[in-house]
């Protein structure tokens, strides 16, 4: 059994899922069986604190799929449509959202 909790890919510490991948690769090459269970508890994403590259991919997907935009009450931008070009979009979102 393997257990993981609270993923934040842009945290300064190493991503433990990379270590899990390495462990499974090493064990399987040696003839061992894969773990029977992987428990991923806790927050797997922090929707209010997303890494810049992930936000760029999300914004690109929104544009490609023509997804709708949301109004943002009490924020310094009026809607999610204004986020993409705003200087605070990727690494200063805490200054944008209420």
Dihedral sign for Cα 17, 19, 22, 23, please.
Answer: negative
Task: Please report the pLDDT score of residue 65 as a whole number.
Answer: 95
Domain parsing of the chain, residue ranges: 2-41, 52-95
Pair 79, 71: CB distance under 8 Å: yes
Within 13 Å and on the Cβ side, how many CA atoms surround 73? 0
Helix (H) or strand (E) holding 57: helix 52-65
Question: Digits of tens for pLDDT over the chain (98 positions)?
Answer: 888 877 777 778 887 888 888 988 888 777 777 888 888 887 766 766 777 888 888 889 988 999 988 888 888 888 888 887 888 877 777 777 66
Question: Whole-prediction pTM value?
Answer: 0.53
Residue given tokens 């890919």 in the structure block: 9
40 membership: H or E segment, kind and range: strand 38-41
Percent helix, strand, coil in the chain (nearest 5)? 35, 10, 55
């Amino acid at each position: 059994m393997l257990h993981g909790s609270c993923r934040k890919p842009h945290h300064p510490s190493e991503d433990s899922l990379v270590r899990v991948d390495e462990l499974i690769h090493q064990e399987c090459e040696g003839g061992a069986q894969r773990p029977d269970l992987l428990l991923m508890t806790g927050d797997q994403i922090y929707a209010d604190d997303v890494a810049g590259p992930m936000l760029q991919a999300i914004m690109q997907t929104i544009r490609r799929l023509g997804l709708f935009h949301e109004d943002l009450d009490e924020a310094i931008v009026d809607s999610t449509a204004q986020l993409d070009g705003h200087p605070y979009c990727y690494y200063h979102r805490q200054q944008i959202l209420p």
